[in-house]
Structure 1
């Protein structure tokens, strides 16, 4: 096989491939074995038609497409490895020649992983983060714990307000006609949660137990059910119950109920340590993200749209998996939020672009600094996974190998090491220092631009 690669613009190029006639013959043999099982020829049982009879009746050309389908993926993969390119999208294939006894020739227009020109990536300045726990933060955490352990108490003599849970019947219609999913009995709805169509919950606020009301709302124009999108609906609502959270008192009994401590003071001291540890982890993550973002901003790279679209698909799939772990799914979420999949993808696109950009830049930093995952680090990763899933390391290794994920594991470890390298070579500055540094950098750019303009003007005058 012969393969050549020529870049034609940015991240696009043409892969030209020639495959030996012998391999074409083998592919035609395989295509015949596949097709002959399906054809009917008088005097022969299915699958028993001789090759010569088949070709005289149907022509050898009838095997060409199946032979191409068999041979092309194999030789395309070989051509990629031979030319050492990294495609990021499906190729546009143009078959130039495919005949029995002849060389197989094709061209593939391929979008490849872009080249990255690194900017400054050492000595990146990031703002220092205070990880001390304030009394206000401790109080807020205690309040969250109170909310979490609150009891819902039935309220009989007050109207519903935001934060209350109302038990309601509702029956919706559009132009007097009921629609699917528009009716429920004794449904528990937390007011202010935003889980219903915009405008619904606000109109239930102020109702008392036993009240009836016609709630009028308009479905969003982007509502997932096209027959309801943009239409006005009327819901007949009846309030059965109103429940309000009753917070437990912050005392020693509360501490005993929610922890292993006997007094509130002991619990608060332990909680403060937990919050400090959490803030340290959050600060670590924030610092890593800030460093990577700045290194990404300093680099130059043109990202193919196909890579962004692929990352968006990954993000949608991950989001769906998280929803399923919470007893929901993507369709239910879209139904409740009144969004479409395209709306969701649009919201994710900027983050997807940043992720792709940062990963490309991190890969380039790893190459520049010769950062690689060692065998010991990979083994440690396998051991950690084995421990988490209660399997042996060999089982985890075999599962990853079967799924073709061992390479991804290597990449993940390498990227983490690269992020660690960037953080270790960064510099923490106070917020005021960072602002001054930004101003100085901006002023330098402005001065440089002004000098360039003056030089250009002088050159024009000359």
Structure 2
């Protein structure tokens, strides 16, 4: 039996559930008899253990199971009878005071909110668009060349030349010994032998690189170096040290020529440079399309949050905060980080969780009101699009269709795209061109 629903707040409700104690005892006894059929105990054959011994061993566990089952069933029945859409899980607490021969429990819970979405035709949304030009292809080729760089001793003649005068210059890889001191005293981390870095990449402080420029192998230089106030080494931050460096090795960078061999190294079997450029263009266009889609989706989601009015269930925020905390822990562990004793308080993720839950409720309302569910054809097309960048597209299809959870992730993605398309079709959209470099430097995620 359940009492009438009490309203405790905008979304918070309470129901009191009660049922006869005899019902619990009867069900416990019934389950104990079933347990006794297979129970084992020293000195007894299986199934011949006295019921009192079975009750002593399993009684508490079975009684808890019976109570959980009865309370859960009664709560679900009450929620259905009152047409309640329960958000998350109820908090169920036993009541100290109950009618004689009865057990009573208070179930406190939240319900899903009403979602009021404003006039989408009045919403203004700025979207972006970008193109892939020949300049972007050239830049990408330069990056690919630098990824395949190899170094040769500077000043020594070889297959690719000698690299010019054997003096340290930007782009060269230098190997140095160095020692630093503050007020004549060496400090931890201020000394190294055989330390290699490429001049001009900014790995070292500017004064260190400047002192290295122009050195020849075997030469040394002593110079002052001022550590920034915000330097990561707190013991030396803001202080000035005296460094002595000695150049032990000097190498110049040889970038591979853009020729047939270079094209083959990128997977173009016949070494055709035109095909190589076309492949790079296609890949860049796919990356640009993905980034543009992410930026525009973010703009739509921001607009929906502003135009929709709703109260967000705290229960759902707490659950999603826990989920985000666990996902972060797993992600860091997969990256090889030791997070065994690192705390991940759910409160850290509350703001992000609140946005995710809010958007989920808004999207659910839009999808239901406007029939924007993902169709099987859309899901298949999305998977096939993913599969284009893999050697065996059939394996990608098999990967998703063999697991309902993976397929659900694609369905959710398509659903979001349906919402984005729907909202952009109604709202006032202003599209602006964005520079390739700016777009590729962004990581918009809804």
Alignment of 1:126-275 (within 5 A): 126-151=125-150, 246-251=254-259, 253-260=261-268, 262=271, 264=273, 267-275=276-284
Equivalent position of 2:338 in the other structure: 331
- Per the TM alignment, residue 36 of structure 1 is displaced from its structure 2 partner at its CA by 9.3
User: What is the aligned-residue RMSD (CA, Å)?
Assistant: 6.1
Correspondence for 2:67 among 59, 68, 71: 71
- Per the TM alignment, residue 107 of structure 1 is displaced from its structure 2 partner at its CA by 0.6
Equivalent position of 2:85 in the other structure: 85
Alignment partner of 1:331: what SS? coil
> d(CA) in 2 for partners of 1:409 and 1:101?
54
In 2, are the aligned partners of 1:291 and 1:426 still within 8 Å (CA)?
A: no
Equivalent position of 1:437 in the other structure: none
Q: How far does the alpha carbon of each residue in 1:126-147 deviate from its partner, in whole angstroms, 9 at most, with x for none?
A: 3343332234433322222222
Alignment of 1:26-425 (within 5 A): 26-29=26-29, 48-51=49-52, 67-72=63-68, 75-76=71-72, 79-80=75-76, 82-83=78-79, 84-88=84-88, 91-96=90-95, 102-122=101-121, 124-151=123-150, 246-251=254-259, 253-260=261-268, 262=271, 264=273, 267-319=276-328, 322=331, 328-331=335-338, 342=344, 346=348, 350-373=351-374, 388=395, 396=403, 414-425=415-426
- Per the TM alignment, residue 294 of structure 1 is displaced from its structure 2 partner at its CA by 0.7
Equivalent position of 1:18 in the other structure: 18
- Per the TM alignment, residue 96 of structure 1 is displaced from its structure 2 partner at its CA by 1.7
| Residue 426 to residue 248, structure 1, CA distance change in 2 (3 Å) | farther
| Residue 115 to residue 272, structure 1, CA distance change in 2 (3 Å) | same
In 2, are the aligned partners of 1:21 and 1:100 still within 8 Å (CA)?
A: no
- Per the TM alignment, residue 24 of structure 1 is displaced from its structure 2 partner at its CA by 1.3
In 2, are the aligned partners of 1:123 and 1:427 still within 8 Å (CA)?
A: yes
Structure 2 runs not aligned, ≥5 long: 156-165, 180-185, 238-244, 388-392, 434-446
Alignment partner of 1:93: what SS? strand
> d(CA) in 2 for partners of 1:142 and 1:92?
59
In 2, are the aligned partners of 1:164 and 1:244 still within 8 Å (CA)?
A: yes
In 1, are the aligned partners of 2:172 and 2:251 still within 8 Å (CA)?
A: no
Alignment partner of 2:120: what SS? coil
| Residue 109 to residue 349, structure 1, CA distance change in 2 (3 Å) | closer
TM-score normalised by length of structure 1: 0.58
- Per the TM alignment, residue 109 of structure 1 is displaced from its structure 2 partner at its CA by 2.0
| Residue 408 to residue 265, structure 1, CA distance change in 2 (3 Å) | closer
| Residue 392 to residue 422, structure 1, CA distance change in 2 (3 Å) | same
Alignment partner of 1:104: what SS? strand
Q: How far does the alpha carbon of each residue in 1:77-118 deviate from its partner, in whole angstroms, 9 at most, with x for none?
A: 652464133333x54332026999933320122244444322
In 2, are the aligned partners of 1:192 and 1:202 still within 8 Å (CA)?
A: no
Equivalent position of 2:438 in the other structure: none
Alignment partner of 2:95: what SS? strand
Greater helix share, structure number = 1
| Residue 7 to residue 268, structure 1, CA distance change in 2 (3 Å) | same
> d(CA) in 2 for partners of 1:217 and 1:29?
77
In 2, are the aligned partners of 1:155 and 1:242 still within 8 Å (CA)?
A: yes
Alignment partner of 2:128: what SS? coil
State how many pairs are aligned.
Answer: 391
- Per the TM alignment, residue 331 of structure 1 is displaced from its structure 2 partner at its CA by 2.5
> d(CA) in 1 for partners of 2:333 and 2:399?
28
> d(CA) in 2 for partners of 1:255 and 1:288?
36
> d(CA) in 1 for partners of 2:144 and 2:44?
79
Alignment partner of 2:101: what SS? coil
> d(CA) in 2 for partners of 1:4 and 1:194?
69
Q: How far does the alpha carbon of each residue in 1:392-426 deviate from its partner, in whole angstroms, 9 at most, with x for none?
A: 999545xx5xxxx9988876665554344334434
| Residue 152 to residue 354, structure 1, CA distance change in 2 (3 Å) | farther
> d(CA) in 2 for partners of 1:194 and 1:315?
35
In 2, are the aligned partners of 1:96 and 1:106 still within 8 Å (CA)?
A: yes
In 1, are the aligned partners of 2:318 and 2:346 still within 8 Å (CA)?
A: no
Structure 1 runs not aligned, ≥5 long: 171-175, 179-183, 224-228, 433-462
In 2, are the aligned partners of 1:308 and 1:353 still within 8 Å (CA)?
A: yes
> d(CA) in 1 for partners of 2:29 and 2:176?
70
Alignment partner of 2:29: what SS? helix
